[in-house]
Amino acid sequence: MKIGDPLDRSTDHGPQNHQAHLEKLLQYCEAGVKEGATLVYGGRQVHRPGFFMEPTVFTDVEDHMYLAKEESFGPIMVISKFQNGDIDGVLQRANNTEYGLASGVFTRDISKAMYVSERLEAGTVFVNTYNKTDVAAPFGGVKQSGFGKDLGEEALNEYLKTKTVTLEY
């Protein structure tokens, strides 16, 4: 991932929006290591001006861990193992959270991707990609991950009031 100026279209990840959020992300990574997740890459601040964090990958993340339960809002990927073929078990685990902003499915089987996408409790599901959005597509979460949608025609509904008037004349 290219880290840099968020206004540069070739940048994949810009800085965190403030020092407190960067510090929270670093604590998030420390908690993951303490709980036994494997830090494969990253987990540190980038040494340059600004609140930049290295893209971070954790493996061996178990469902009870802080990493699996909380949203980081940072460049942190957590990878959990599952039994081969246990799609419904994976869905149960994925949906067992109070959050639901976005999720990702990686598979060669398009029917499996559609099955999982329909059942994931998330506002956005990315299939064989991640974080590729279009301004015409609504974006927003479910559960505790937000109310309403940004982008797309659905976002305009946030500015409208719907009213029904019934009149007998």
Cα–Cα separations (whole angstroms), residue 154 to 21, 40, 138: 29, 39, 6
Architecture per CATH, domain 1-81, reads as: 3-Layer(aba) Sandwich (3.40)
pLDDT at 167: 59
Cα–Cα separations (whole angstroms), residue 148 to 122, 144, 155: 13, 11, 7
Higher-pLDDT residue of 36, 101:
36
pLDDT at 166: 63
Among residues 30, 32, 53, which one has the least CA distance to residue 42?
Answer: 53
Q: Are the C-beta atoms of 62 and 68 separated by less than 8 Å?
A: yes
Supply 162's token pair: 């719907």
Cα–Cα distance for residue pair 145/121, rounded to 1 Å: 11
pLDDT tens digits for range 149-168: 777 777 777 777 766 666 57
Matching residue, tokens 């329909």: 118
Instruction: For residue 16, count other CB atoms closer than 10 A to its CB.
Output: 20
Q: Are the C-beta atoms of 154 and 137 separated by less than 8 Å?
A: no
Give pTM, 2 decimals: 0.79
For the cut 70, the answer to whether the pLDDT of residue 14 exceeds it is yes
pLDDT at 147: 67
Higher-pLDDT residue of 132, 26:
26
Mean pLDDT, range 41-58, rounded to an integer: 96
**What are the structural domain ranges in the chain?**
1-81, 83-168
pLDDT at 161: 72
pLDDT at 113: 93
pLDDT at 145: 83
pLDDT at 85: 87
Cα–Cα distance for residue pair 76/70, rounded to 1 Å: 11
* Beta pairing partners, 166: none
